Structure 1
């Protein structure tokens, strides 16, 4: 019983709003630097995902987006979609590409990172509309101030 309580505390402890510096460290430890060409030091800038995360979730690991036009929802710090990448009992998605429940993506930042890696590997960082709309081709230096 104690082990179950400890596991729940660890899982829920990772679900929170993070500071940019914390996210940067977590992404480095998760080996996002250079993953599929997405570098932590891309050009003279830090990981372009910092811009993506800010626009998708404002660094909130428990973020759950509003319903999209197709009825799907986005989850976690990367706003992973339940139509393709995670299983949501309230939505009959086409696939579960990451093999996780959507609730895991809001409880465990490491599962969100692993799922984001799968998305990047299959579709590139351009799979996120926030990247295309707010980050691609822009000066990303404001997203890394203070890191």
Structure 2
């Protein structure tokens, strides 16, 4: 079944205007602190405010890192299958640290200029996961994240 953008617009927002949301910003934060997702309508678009830990956990489980590790010429190489990321180090920890750094640099580049490039458009979830993760969480995802 195909949905048109117009079919998605009638979702009722918790706050039908930006002004109303601004007046109730503390209430919005309180609601998200209890696990609720709060929505705000503005100019026909609806945005969501939600607990970041839940969003990060969702990305952790659904964005697969697909990391492969192998040795080459005395070093350890890690690559993300299906994505343009590869790193190397003296051991697995070094290589994963380098890969995590590459992902952080990519997230900055993606927000600055790459998000509109057709071959980078689908990286939105990966970038959000990187931005919402600490270094330790990002390493954990690289080692055991995804489906």
Give yes or no for TM over 0.5.
no
Q: Which has the higher helix share?
A: 2
More RCO (CA 8 Å, sep 6+):
1
Please, what TM-score do these two structures have when normalized by structure 2? 0.27
Please give the TM-score of this superposition, normalised by the length of structure 1.
0.27
Q: Choose 1 or 2 for highest CA Rg.
A: 2
